[in-house]
Structure 1
Amino acid sequence: MTLATASSTVAFNTAPISHLTASTFTPSRSTFVPRLIRHFDTSLHATFIPANLTTAQSARVNAIVCSTRFVKRGATLYRAGDAFTSLYAVRTGCFKTVVVHRHGDEQVTGFHMAGDPLALDGVCSDEHNCDAVALEDSTVCVVPFALLENLCQDMKAIQHHIHRMMSGEIVREAGLMMMLGTMTAEQRVAAFLMNLATRMKARGYSGVEFNLRMTREEIGNYLGLKLETVSRTLSKLQKEGVVGTSGKQIRIIDDERLASAGCPVTDACSRREHVSQTTQADL
């Protein structure tokens, strides 16, 4: 797996577009919703706009996002081999990135929620190296990469911000490689849950109780585990009073024990989230 293959995407945690309904869209493809952004999208500001920019500079960044795209559950935002033209920021919903092997098997390389970037994998080769599939009805902001590059030339703070975002992906992949190469099944599942909790909390949601957007089979694929192993590990953690589970709902009862069970991968995941958060706060 290459660094580009495992790249994630930035999602925006903003309210859904109220006038869109499921009947507006066909289930087999994603749909563009042209929309001029006349106001500052708070999620866009948190993801792509450093805190020290002036109002006028922030407006320039905001101006390059001129459309959103609705992606129905199960549809693809882009596929491996598609030409790379834009970065995407998840506004609502959740995506998985998937690499399809020659013999047809799929490998999940990441899960991307509101506030995460998507399509960083296309920067190195000008084409996408994986599929991005919506796990639920989702919307993304479209950021044309050529316009973003031009903006980076004029505004070094934006350039540095994007560099830090890409660096965060390197840290994420290092943690994933450590997990797949050295960790037990229980450590992998614990680290995965702690990472999700950290990301949810960073986006203003509860880091203690949340719903999984992915299936246990998809979690197992990502962690290099069988479905039965994931289910058995979650049951074990529940019996030990570490977590509570009910279908896709997860409740973390003892976060210290869960963090301890997930070491050392949890530390790597936390560093990746720290890079993302300090990028927004420090620039």
Structure 2
Amino acid sequence: MEPTATVLDLNQLRRSCSSCALHELCLPAGIDADDLNRLDAAVKDKRMLDRGAMLYREGDRFDALYVVRSGSLKSFVQNEAGDMQILAFHLPGEIIGFDALASNQHVSQAEALERSSICEQPYAHLQRVTSEVPALHRQLMRVISREVVEEHRHLMVMGRQQAQEQLATFLKSVADRHQRLQRDSTTLNLSMSRYDIANYLGLVVETVSRLFSRMEEMGVLEVNRKSVRILRPDLLAGLCRTGAMSKQKDAG
């Protein structure tokens, strides 16, 4: 039997943070009702973005951080010639907009990969709330730390020589993030295109397509367009370590 598709409930988008299905990811466990009401009052906007719509552009003034409630986005930079480098993909429960903290303006751009819903948290108000709610401040610092870790992981993946290891690491990262959302971590509906994946990993799109086919032949994945089913999580995890194991052998 085919799994039932999740239908976006527009009424749910109008509810408070306390009833949001993602609040456990965004907020610290055990936050009390009064503190939650303060945070909910700080939410300026709960908006919908169509596919291809921009959440912010490079040079936009920094006013707020954003929580992805549903859907997904990509953040990227572009040079004067229009060449794009994708920096990250953002899934539900994740906060974006940290790129503007240092200079008070965004140095990257964020675009919806599919129809997505976003919560806007005005930063000035958020600062006041976090100063009054220490648990929320600690959680925000953990989120920022997680973003830094993801950036470091991306740089490590980009620096690896084996393209298969790069793609395997990317797929495992998406699976791990699905698991954190309490979703099926073996069935991934990738909202990003093969071109986006290739750009993110520093590969050419033909290589990415070939690697998906190779992993299918190995029995690791089952691929149907943007739907990827992980048949052997153990083999996928092994592919993520091939580069490290090769370096150990060379050193020995």
Using the size of structure 1 for normalisation, the TM-score is: 0.79
- The equivalent position to 2:90 in structure 1, one of 98, 102, 112, is 112
Partner of 2:214: 236
Counterpart amino acid of residue 143 in structure 1: Q
Partner of 1:45: 23
Counterpart amino acid of residue 114 in structure 1: P
Is the CA contact (8 Å cut-off) linking 1:153 and 1:159 kept in structure 2? Answer: yes
Partner of 1:226: 204
Partner of 1:18: 10
Is the CA contact (8 Å cut-off) linking 2:162 and 2:243 kept in structure 1? Answer: no
Partner of 1:122: 100
Alpha-carbon separation, structure 2, partners of 1:206 and 1:89: 21
The 1:19–1:44 alpha-carbon spacing in structure 2 relative to 1, beyond 3 Å, is: closer
Equivalent residues, number: 239
Is the CA contact (8 Å cut-off) linking 2:165 and 2:240 kept in structure 1? Answer: yes
Alpha-carbon separation, structure 2, partners of 1:38 and 1:192: 33
Kindly state the Cα deviation for residue 124 of structure 1 after the two structures are TM-superposed: 1.2
Kindly state the Cα deviation for residue 52 of structure 1 after the two structures are TM-superposed: 2.5
Alpha-carbon separation, structure 2, partners of 1:265 and 1:47: 32
Alpha-carbon separation, structure 1, partners of 2:98 and 2:205: 29
Alpha-carbon separation, structure 1, partners of 2:18 and 2:120: 15
Q: Which runs of 4 or more aligned residues in structure 1 lie more than 3 Å from their structure 2 counterparts after TM superposition? A: 14-17
Alpha-carbon separation, structure 2, partners of 1:38 and 1:189: 38
> Does 2:209 align with 1:217?
no
Answer with 108-117 or 176-185: which moved more.
Answer: 176-185
Using the size of structure 2 for normalisation, the TM-score is: 0.88
Q: What are the within-5 Å matches in structure 2 for residues 1-283 of structure 1?
A: 16-18=8-10, 37-38=15-16, 40-43=18-21, 45-263=23-241
Alpha-carbon separation, structure 1, partners of 2:7 and 2:132: 31
Is the CA contact (8 Å cut-off) linking 2:54 and 2:109 kept in structure 1? Answer: yes
Can you list the C-alpha shifts for 1:210-257, whole angstroms capped at 9, x where unaligned? Answer: 211011010000000000000011111100101111111101011011
User: What is the root-mean-square deviation in Å for CA atoms of aligned residues?
Assistant: 2.2
Is the CA contact (8 Å cut-off) linking 1:175 and 1:265 kept in structure 2? Answer: no
Alpha-carbon separation, structure 1, partners of 2:235 and 2:22: 35
Alpha-carbon separation, structure 1, partners of 2:110 and 2:39: 25
The 1:222–1:154 alpha-carbon spacing in structure 2 relative to 1, beyond 3 Å, is: same
Counterpart amino acid of residue 210 in structure 2: R
Name the SS of the counterpart of 2:228 in structure 1: strand
Answer with 196-205 or 58-67: which moved more.
Answer: 58-67
Gapped runs of 5+ residues in structure 1? 1-13, 21-32, 267-283
Can you list the C-alpha shifts for 1:157-186, whole angstroms capped at 9, x where unaligned? Answer: 111111111111111111111111124100
The 1:178–1:16 alpha-carbon spacing in structure 2 relative to 1, beyond 3 Å, is: same
Is the CA contact (8 Å cut-off) linking 1:47 and 1:115 kept in structure 2? Answer: yes
Alpha-carbon separation, structure 2, partners of 1:38 and 1:215: 33
Counterpart amino acid of residue 261 in structure 1: L
Alpha-carbon separation, structure 2, partners of 1:65 and 1:95: 20
Counterpart amino acid of residue 18 in structure 1: L
Kindly state the Cα deviation for residue 57 of structure 1 after the two structures are TM-superposed: 1.5
